[in-house]
Amino acid sequence: MVCEGFPYREALRLVGLALREDVGPGDWTTLWTVPPDLRAEGTISAEEEGVICGLRVAEMVFRKVDPGLSFSPRFRDGERVRPGDVVAVVEGPARGMLTAERTALNFLGRLSGIATLTARYVEALRGTKARVLDTRKTTPGWRALEKYAVRCGGGENHRMGLYDMVLIKDNHIALAGGIAEAVRRVRESMGSRKLKVEVEVRTLKELEEALASGVDRVLLDNMSPGDVKEAVGLVQGKVEVEASGGITLENIRKYAEAGVDYISVGAITHSARSLNISMDLRPSG
């Protein structure tokens, strides 16, 4: 899997924040123990199987700390790695390498963890038409990077924020006075904006109301696979169908086999465990 759309600007901003947080006024341990002219070679390795992601961010970290550091990736984002695989090699001033190490590994581990978990969900759907979507349940400030990691794992992005799609959820419906009224207000207010309109439904009755309102997609929230199958039959291909809520690796295929187009899984971002990635340094000539 070769992923596209690396969010350079957002990554650069996060790298700056992360280094200010970690380095503060100075990396005293490194400054007081490592000679300024010492050069080193650092080997970044995978300690477990997974999908690597975040190599460009890691390079940005090292280069931000010391432009004299060279970063040579051995894989591309979206490729699978096995335990012991050398992911990248860093060469140059030892001080800068040590100062950047933890921040670079944090980015690599976090993003690779998301890509790896996403890939597991995508694999579970193999042979069906359903596609895995992420949600807005992301780390504040990290959304662009985490959604990039989802793409590297083979998943697809739902809306990036509140601005690029209309998703009418239960609280909107309650405050607007019903599905039909909520959709009517959206269509009336949208003007020239060409945004897709999706409505969350929890029952077949709500689904019928949403279909009658002329939406583009329905989100079947916390329904059982049996109810989802019945709902898909009711839709009859008129609109896109998304299932969400209570989706796990153990049951996702049942939802896919019910005939939905999309399955959104918040866990791929909010519950992904970081991939174990390490770095070993040694003095070089």
Q: Using CB atoms within 10 A of its CB, is residue 107 exposed (0-12), middle (13-18) or buried (19+)?
A: buried
The structure's pTM equals 0.96
Q: Are 128 and 253 in contact (CB under 8 A)?
A: yes
Q: Which one of the listed residues 169, 196, 205, 273 is annotated catalytic?
A: 169
Name the percent of the chain lying above pLDDT 90.
96
Query: Residue 209: what pLDDT?
Result: 95
CA distance 140 to 46: 27
Query: Residue 3: pLDDT above 90?
Result: no
Q: Which one of the listed residues 102, 184, 185, 202 is annotated catalytic?
A: 102
Residue type, 25: P
> Residue holding tokens 């979507």?
133
Q: Starting at the edge strand that comes first in sequence, how are the strands of the sheet with 197-201 ordered?
A: 131-133, 262-264, 240-244, 217-221, 197-201, 166-168
Q: Are 124 and 255 in contact (CB under 8 A)?
A: no
Q: Which one of the listed residues 79, 134, 200, 261 is annotated catalytic?
A: 200
Q: Which one of the listed residues 85, 221, 242, 261 is annotated catalytic?
A: 221
Mean pLDDT of all residues in the chain? 96
| φ, ψ of residue 219 in degrees (nearest 5) | -110, 115
Catalytic residue status for 221: yes
CA distance 7 to 146: 10
The encoded tokens of residue 74 equal 């051995």
Q: Which CATH number fits domain 8-122+272-283: 1.10.3720.10, 3.90.1170.20, 3.40.190.10, 3.30.420.40?
A: 3.90.1170.20
Query: Residue 2: pLDDT above 70?
Result: no
Catalytic residue status for 137: yes
CA distance 121 to 125: 7
Beta bridge partners of 200: 219
165-265: CATH class: alpha beta
At 238-262, the pLDDT tens digits run: 999 999 999 999 999 999 999 999 9
- Domain residue limits, the chain: 8-122+272-283, 165-265
At 84-113, the pLDDT tens digits run: 999 999 999 999 999 999 999 999 999 999
Query: Residue 1: pLDDT above 80?
Result: no
Name the percent of the chain lying above pLDDT 70.
99
Catalytic residue status for 200: yes
Q: Which one of the listed residues 63, 120, 136, 137 is annotated catalytic?
A: 137
What's the gap between Cα 172 and its chain centre? 26
Query: Residue 285: pLDDT above 90?
Result: no
Secondary structure class of 237 (helix, strand, coil): coil
pLDDT tier, 4 (very low <50, low <70, confident <90, very high otherwise): confident
CA distance 34 to 46: 26
Contacting residues for 64 by C-beta, under 8 A, at least 6 apart: 15, 16, 19, 100
